Amino acid sequence: GWTETTGSNAETAIRCYLTVRRLVRDLRLVNSLPDVAGRSTELLPISIEEDDPPLEGSTLPLKFSNMLVCTSGQDTRCLIEHPTRFLLASPDLSNPGMAVVKTSAPLQFITPRIENAKPRILEIWLQVYASPGQAAPCGAPDSNGKQSYTVELQFNDARSCDAALRQLDRTRAHARRAMLMQLKHFLRGSIPPSQENSVHAI
């Protein structure tokens, strides 16, 4: 007959199935798999993002303790450390002490690297989905709204470039640990209501 243990096992199995289905559908985002079923409209029941993450066009206060200055093309950019997002901003000339976000992407969807032959250049490969009405940062998105592009950031010296890479590696690892923790709580049926506050304490 139906027991409490059986019910608990069934709930866990259902949670695992729903989560794995959602993750498999979104694997194409990082592995460029053929999009057979179309973009998933399901919301993954785990999130490390704040309710209102900084997006392109938003403004942030400049804090020299959490940013590195570089150039992207001919433009000056500030690589701003953030617990869940890759952020590039430009100083707001009309509002001293503030910066306008030019690039914003979830940390789990970027891949940073430095080529040995170019020790002052940090290459960032991004695969993100465009929000409805959002302009593509580089070329047009595909039929599912996915955009793939590369950003090259040039620093004054190799030391600064390496510091930027280590900063991104650290925050990406922290974000992944926070997501795994939330997934663990979800599968156990007890998502922390605080969204794991430790995410914001880098």
Highest mean pLDDT among 46-60, 100-114, 139-153: 100-114
The average pLDDT across 167-184 equals 86
β-bridge pairing 121-129 and 110-113: antiparallel
Dist CA 151 CA 112 (whole Å): 9
**Assigned token pair, 81:** 């450390």
Res 172 pLDDT > 60: yes
Confidence of residue 152 (pLDDT cuts 50, 70, 90): very high
Confidence of residue 197 (pLDDT cuts 50, 70, 90): very low
More confident residue, 62 or 8: 62
More confident residue, 108 or 11: 108
In the block, tokens 């979104």 appear at: 26
- For the entire predicted model, the pTM comes to 0.67
Do residues 105 and 55 touch, judged by C-beta distance below 8 A?
A: no
In the block, tokens 């789990």 appear at: 108
Nearest one of 149, 151, 141, 168 to 67, comparing CA atoms = 168
DSSP track, 117-141: T-TTEEEEEEEEEPPTTPPPSSS--
pLDDT the model gives residue 143:
53
